[in-house]
């Protein structure tokens, strides 16, 4: 039973950390990253497809993203999707390749991004703690039903607390790395 409960908690906490990692990847930090374009979808013959399924995306320079559509007729649709997104980037094209220049961040914008990242990290920590609470309730319920002893219940809760601390530590590590990336000039 303890392995089952631990694996459930570990799986859910891993999902919370991965969600935080994906949020961080989609945050514009003044450095080119193809993860910025993960949420952009392009209308392609009546279907809404992710950008990386209709074009090659690359970062040849630290502040430049290039998008080369496999079908040149998609260039206006890709540009429209980028402009409609919340990225705040203006695409330019030469007829075959779309270029996105990533502007450097101002000091004020850097501080604002750090606040946003800290808020995201706190949301991630809350998600991990919610998993701990859910699992602890399952343990208490099983103890009440007589499926496990009081000692085993306490041991399991202690084990779940160690897992919680481990995953919150992972979130904190990701947070520190992202803060460093943002504040680096």
Clarify whether residues 135 and 168 are in a common domain. Answer: yes
Rg of the chain (C-alpha set): 22
113-172 pLDDT tens trace:
889 899 999 999 999 999 999 999 999 998 898 888 888 989 999 999 999 999 999 999
Clarify whether residues 52 and 8 are in a common domain. Answer: no
Clarify whether residues 76 and 53 are in a common domain. Answer: yes
The whole domain housing 134 covers: 2-26+106-183
Clarify whether residues 97 and 65 are in a common domain. Answer: yes
Domain count, the chain: 2
Query: pTM for the full model?
Result: 0.71
* Count of residues in the chain: 185
**Neighbouring residues of 68: CB distance < 8 A, sequence distance ≥ 6:** 55, 56, 58, 96, 97, 98
The enclosing domain of 38 has a CATH number of 3.30.1360.40
For residues 95 and 47, what is the distance between their CA atoms, to the nearest angstrom? Answer: 23
54-85 pLDDT tens trace:
888 888 888 888 989 988 888 888 888 888 88
**Which token pair is 99?**
């270029």
pLDDT at residue 168, as a whole number: 96
Q: How confident is the model at residue 34 (pLDDT cuts 50, 70, 90)?
A: confident
Question: Which of the listed residues 101, 116, 143 is the one where a domain comes to its end?
Answer: 101
């Amino acid at each position: 039973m303890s392995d089952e409960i631990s694996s459930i908690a570990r799986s859910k906490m891993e999902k919370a950390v991965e969600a935080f990692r994906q949020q961080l990847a989609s945050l514009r930090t003044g450095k080119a990253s193809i993860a910025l374009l993960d949420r952009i979808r392009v209308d392609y013959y009546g279907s809404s497809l992710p950008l990386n399924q209709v074009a090659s995306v690359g970062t040849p320079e630290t502040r430049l993203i290039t998008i080369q559509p496999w079908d040149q007729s998609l260039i206006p649709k890709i540009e429209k999707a980028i402009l409609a997104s919340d990225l705040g980037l203006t695409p330019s094209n030469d007829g075959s390749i779309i270029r996105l220049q990533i502007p450097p961040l101002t000091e004020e914008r850097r501080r604002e991004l750090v606040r946003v990242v800290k808020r995201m990290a706190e949301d991630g920590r809350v998600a991990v703690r919610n998993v701990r609470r859910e699992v602890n309730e399952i343990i208490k319920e099983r103890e009440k039903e007589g499926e496990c002893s009081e000692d085993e219940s306490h041991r399991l809760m202690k084990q779940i607390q160690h897992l919680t601390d481990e995953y919150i530590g992972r979130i904190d590590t990701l947070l520190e790395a992202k803060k460093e990336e943002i504040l680096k000039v």
